[in-house]
Structure 1
Amino acid sequence: MIKAMGYAAHHAFTGLKPLAFERDEAGAGEVEIEVLFCGVCHSDIHQVKNEWSNTVYPCMPGHEIVGRVTSVGHGVTRHAVGDLVGVGCMIDSCRSCAPCQAREENYCEGPNSWLATYNGPMVPRAMAPTGRNMYLADNTYGGYSTVIVVKEDFVLKIPDGLRPEIAAPILCAGVTTYSPMKHWGVKAGDHVGIIGFGGLGDMAIKLAKVMGADVTVFTTSEDKFGDARAIGARPVLESDKDALQGLANSFDFMLSTIPEKHDINPFIPLLKRDRTLVVVGALEPLAPVNNMAQAVHRKSVAGSLIGSIAETQEVLDFCAQHGIGPDIQVIAMQTINDAYRDIEKGKSRYRYVIDMASLKQEMGAAAADAMQV
């Protein structure tokens, strides 16, 4: 067993606190990874607070993980000790359903869907059909920890040219915005609208610009206008009805990155005929959609869920090739509860990334204190 430390929540109403625990050593086809950096996603906050009503406690978040391989199990060929690697939102899937066979594990139709990097199976074991292969994990602990063990084919290679702390948010925020733009065919010359300017919106703008699109970003914060212009986007206040009316029927593609329930109806009229608005930020029911606004010009509203393992590797390589990445603020593990409050208030610019050296120092200090007792 591997002795580890992480930060976890034990209830929906408490903050994250240190938790000592153990992980199994790398078995056949698995790699052990020393965690160096882990991004902080808004979904971590939703999960810790049980806002999706599916949290398993203790809840140790973290699915934007970059680290160094320290050990490999029997038969591992894709990764070697010393490699810089990443782990995103998934650490396994059923591997046999149609989506998995098509290398779209993020849409796994197996009995438990895909296995989340933290918070265990996507569907509780008791709800799965009997007689099917079940995951061994009732709960999984994520990247807010010193070490993680993952099956090698769910581990990504961090390309040269991407600093590890920059690469971390690409494993969720990057692929979550890249996947729908790829699927719906965003191309040079398209007018792309990004709704929401947080961690996902920041990456969406940068990816769309490199794809050659003309980008407009809709935000509630006028103080972000300068940041938007600096990365090549035209900023518009979501509440500016005159500006929205002037953009009617002008967008080839729109992406909503707002991480909570919101109203997309004001944006549907902005789409061109036969174009699509995709929601990636919110996983809860939204305000009802006015179908008249869709029907009169055959517009579509769709959803997209993170991205496949192949797409995640693709977007990492794409970012390295074009020299782009998220704007980040590196923080110590011990300040995570303050970071959560800042994110909820819209103060982060634009992704917090935890430096796990701070957690290892805490673990070392705790061990030293124990020896003196």
Structure 2
Amino acid sequence: MSRAKAYAALNAHSELVPYEIERRTPGPDDVQIQILYCGVCHSDLHTARNEWRNTLYPSVPGHEIVGRVVAVGEQVRNFKVGDLAGVGCMVDSCGHCPSCHDGEEQFCDHGFTGTYNGPLHGGENTYGGYAQSIVVKESFVLHIRHHEKDLAGVAPLLCAGITTYSPLSRWGAGPGKKVGIVGLGGLGHMAVKIAHAMGAHVVLFTTSAGKIDDGKCLGADEVCVSTDPEQMARHAGQLDFILNTVAAPHALDPYVELLKRDGTMTLVGAPAESHPAPNVFGLILKRRRIAGSLIGGIRETQEMLDFCAEHGITSDIEQIPMAYINTAYERMLKSDVRYRFVIDMASLA
């Protein structure tokens, strides 16, 4: 065992505070990583404040981790000391169910083990990336290639990147497809970049006219202010696919009406309360679908990282010291970040 400095939530109502955790000694198939950067996801805040009613305290959030390998177990074959590596939302799964065999560990029949707030080794709590180091089994560690110049911007790819890449890939975003992206936050700005790189015609839907220029700079071909009925009407029945990244409850019907026959809207935002039920006639009259998607498996996450490296894609970030995290949470609630906070973990030392 080794000790590591971290920041933790001790209960649902207090701020995160400095804390010391234990990390296991690397086993034969483990990789030990010195954490360089960790992105700040809205899920971190949900968990720290027990908004999903499942938090194990003390809680050390953080599942957008980029670092450098400092030790490997004797059976590790694909990583060596000095390599750059990433860890996303999962650190284990059963490995035996159909989903795990298909490389879709996020849908493990027995539940994947989260990088934080997840049972591991007989029930102990897992601690995430708001810490100096982490030890993870090799099969859940990702290679960071050709991104050395912007490692901080890579960190959010481990959640925001794969959360948007997976559905865009699965539903065929690419040349000849008109793809809508709803929301321009941490997820939405990654979705715009990735859909553009895939070759789709990208239409961004935002409630904020102040984000029109940003949307176009990020790769949107068109930007629609979704509170304007006339602008929305211009896109009625025009979209092959919509990726809805908004994590607050909102009416889905206006977006369903934008889909072509057989079009799909996939939800990746996780609101604390459910969206209003959609009008079923909007679905059945055009054979439209509303679907959901959850991050991606390890194989697909590596595919996403390599795709982003090939296309020069990183997240637009604001880099912060660890001690700023509570202020960052309050700003995140106000959507006061363009577009992802990333912690410089050197500040923890």
TM-score band, normalised by the shorter chain? over 0.9
Which aligned segments of 4 or more residues in structure 1 are displaced greater than 6 angstroms? Answer: none
CA contact (8 A) 2:183 2:245 kept: yes
Q: 1:132-158, CA deviations, whole angstroms, 9 ceiling, x for partnerless residues?
A: xx8424311000000100000100000
Query: Helix, strand or coil for the counterpart of 2:159?
Result: helix
Query: Is the counterpart of residue 187 in structure 1 residue 174 in structure 2?
Result: yes
Report the AA paired with residue 329 of structure 2: Y
Q: SS where residue 124 of structure 2 aligns? A: coil
The CA distance in 2 between the partners of 1:72 and 1:275, in whole Å, is: 46
Aligned to 2:116: 118
Amino acid at match of 1:80: K
Q: Select the residue among 171, 196, 201 that pairs with 1:214.
A: 201
Using the size of structure 2 for normalisation, the TM-score is 0.97
User: What's 2:31 paired with?
Assistant: 31
- Taking every aligned residue pair, what percent have the same amino acid on both sides? 50
Distance in 1 (alpha carbons) for counterparts of 2:76 and 2:218: 40
Give 1:260 deviation, angstroms. Answer: 2.8
User: 5 Å matches for 1:155-304?
Assistant: 155-162=141-148, 163-233=150-220, 234-282=222-270, 284=272, 285-304=274-293
Matches within 5 A, 1:92-171: 92-110=92-110, 113-121=111-119, 135-162=121-148, 163-171=150-158
Per the TM alignment, residue 225 of structure 1 is displaced from its structure 2 partner at its CA by 1.2
Return the offset for 1:224. Answer: 1.2
Shift of the alpha carbon at 1:253? 0.5
Of the structure 1 ranges 211-220 and 145-154, higher mean CA displacement relative to structure 2 is found in 211-220
| C-alpha contact (below 8 Å) 2:147/2:154 kept by paired residues | no
State TM-score, norm by structure 1: 0.91
Structure 2, unaligned runs of 5 or more: none
Give SS of 1:289's match: coil
Please name the residue that 2:300 is paired with: 311
The amino acid that maps onto 1:200 is: L
Note the alpha carbon deviations across 1:54-107, whole angstroms, 9 max, x for none.
111111110000001111122111111111000000000000000000111011
Deviates more, 1:189-198 or 1:237-246: 237-246
Aligned length: 346
- For the aligned residue pairs, the C-alpha RMSD in angstroms reads 1.2
- Consecutive unaligned residues in structure 1, runs of 5 or more: 122-133, 361-373
**1:170-223 alpha-carbon deviations (Å, 9 max, x no partner):** 110000000011111112121111111001101100000011111111112221
Give the residue type in structure 1 aligned to 2:228.
Answer: D
Equivalent position to 1:321, from 310, 323, 341: 310
Instruction: Quote how far apart the aligned CAs of 1:283 are.
Output: 5.3
* 2:234 aligned partner, one-letter code: G
Q: Deviations over 1:242-280 (max 9, x none)?
A: 111221000010011112322212100000000100000
Please state whether the residue corresponding to 2:253 is helix, strand or coil: coil
